[in-house]
Amino acid sequence: MAAKSINVPGAGAVVHFDMRNTAVENWLRDHGAELVKQVTDDQIAAIRLAIQKGIEAGRNPRNIALDIVGRIDKITGRRVGGIIGLTE
């Protein structure tokens, strides 16, 4: 949205943002799951994979996080889905 406000017709400048950043992807793959406490090795591996796949697909961090922890069911108000707590 910020890029759209920067683009001025006739100014000759166009701003594009690339969600892919190799350094960030590598750091998240190697360290992202360390930020989560009290999880098993299987869960750490699943979280790493979910983060890596989400970034590779160009998904935003909020949606990747919701894939990991689950979403709030509008009817029950409880969190459902996600991968935390699941083992291989």
Q: Which of 11-15, 36-40, 83-87 has the highest mean pLDDT?
A: 83-87
pLDDT score recorded for residue 27: 82
Residue 12 domain-assigned? no
Residue 13 domain-assigned? no
Domain residue limits at 47: 19-80
Residue 55 domain-assigned? yes
**Cα distances (angstroms) measured from residue 79 to each of 7, 15, 52, 63, 85:** 40, 38, 23, 14, 13
Residue 3 domain-assigned? no
Summarize pLDDT for 22-69 with one digit per residue, the tens: 887 888 778 776 766 666 778 888 899 999 999 999 999 999 999 999
pLDDT score recorded for residue 84: 81
pTM for the whole structure: 0.54
Residues whose CB falls within 8 Å of the CB of residue 41, separated by 6 or more in sequence, listed in order: none
Residue 10 domain-assigned? no
pLDDT score recorded for residue 87: 56
Report, as an integer, the average pLDDT of 2-20: 62
How many domains does the chain divide into? 1
Residue 26 domain-assigned? yes
d(CA 59, CA 8): 27
Residue 76 domain-assigned? yes
| Closest-CA residue to 85 (of 29, 51, 36) | 36
Residue 52 domain-assigned? yes
